[in-house]
Amino acid sequence: MRSALLLMMTVTLLGCSRQTPSDEAAAVPPPAEAPAADAGRPVASHEADSLASQGIDPLYGAVAAGGEAPSLLLNRYVRDLLNRNKASVDAAWAIAPPDARRADDAALRLLPDVRNLRLDSDAAVPRDEQQPPRLLEVPVRIRATTGEGVFRYHGWYRVQPRADGQGWQIQSAQLQPTLD
């Protein structure tokens, strides 16, 4: 009997404290008018949904639709490293290192007699709080075949949007040798 009485009191109190939908609408202030769009502000979730509905992955929304993906940038970069195309290698970076020995990926740049380079990348991970993210970290595994043998590296490249917004450029990297 006591438990039934306690249950009825609890239900009554919960029923009285519940707001009706019209009360909730009156309690919520109307949304403020959105300011004019500016390039540096984060994209709201409804804008991210809009990007997705246009076929643009919100993760890569910081660059123009049809812009070069980070994985394509890194594949082109590795190909330029293999071909020793220094101008293209340096152009892939936001700030190119003045000396290959001081580059974030110096271990890869300084390999002698490189015959083959293979880069496998995983999905990019956002490294900032903006929507869409303006700094992505792309995990990589690299296999380099040289005259001295095969070398393996793992790590990441961090990419940011190019100034023209048409693709990505390398901001930093970290590569570590991997033992078999």
Percent of the chain exceeding pLDDT 70 equals 68
Query: Class of the 67-178 domain?
Result: alpha beta
pLDDT digits (tens, 9 = 90+) for 72-123: 999 999 999 999 999 999 999 999 999 989 999 999 999 999 999 999 999 9
How far are the Cα atoms of 15, 20, 22, 70, 98 from residue 26, in angstroms, in the given order? 19, 10, 6, 47, 62
pLDDT digits (tens, 9 = 90+) for 33-44: 444 444 444 444
- List 157's β-bridge partners, or say none: 138, 173
Q: What is the DSSP string of 86-115?
A: HHHHHHTBSS--SSGGGSTTHHHHT-SSEE
Pick from 120, 136, 147: nearest CA to 70: 136
Pick from 70, 37, 63, 65: nearest CA to 165: 63
The single-letter code of the amino acid at 65 is: A
Overall pTM surpassing 0.85 (yes/no)? no
